[in-house]
Amino acid sequence: MAVSIEELKKASDSLKYALSEPYSDIVRDAAIQRFEFCTELAWKVLRKKMGSSSVAPKAIVREAAQQGLIENPVQWIRYIDARNLTSHTYNEDTARQVFEIVKNFLPDLEQLLPKLEDF
């Protein structure tokens, strides 16, 4: 998997498209899958841009907050927790809860992208 801002932008656009569709179980599941991909790419791009030696997503998020790339590290850690939850188990109630988190994630990701470009 390429770890680049361009790939993260494509993933973000794909998530945005999924969230623009009328709600259904299929749209929800597609948005969650795209969210998983975006969160994974986001912390890896952050790691690469910052030149961090850490391999732990939450540590990368905290470091990014210290460097002014992320405004709310607590929220980003929640995104990582939600991503971990959905990638290891499937449950309808969990899927509904994570879908609500995904809707909050997209604006935060869109806020991060220009900062990454300027970093």
Catalytic annotation, residues = 83, 88
C-alpha separations of 19 from 31, 35, 50, 70 in Å? 6, 10, 30, 22
Rounded Cα distance, 46 and 40, in Å: 10
Determine the Cα–Cα distance for residues 13 and 74; give it in Å rounded to an integer.
Answer: 24
For 59-81, the DSSP string reads: HHHHHHHHTTS-S-HHHHHHHHH
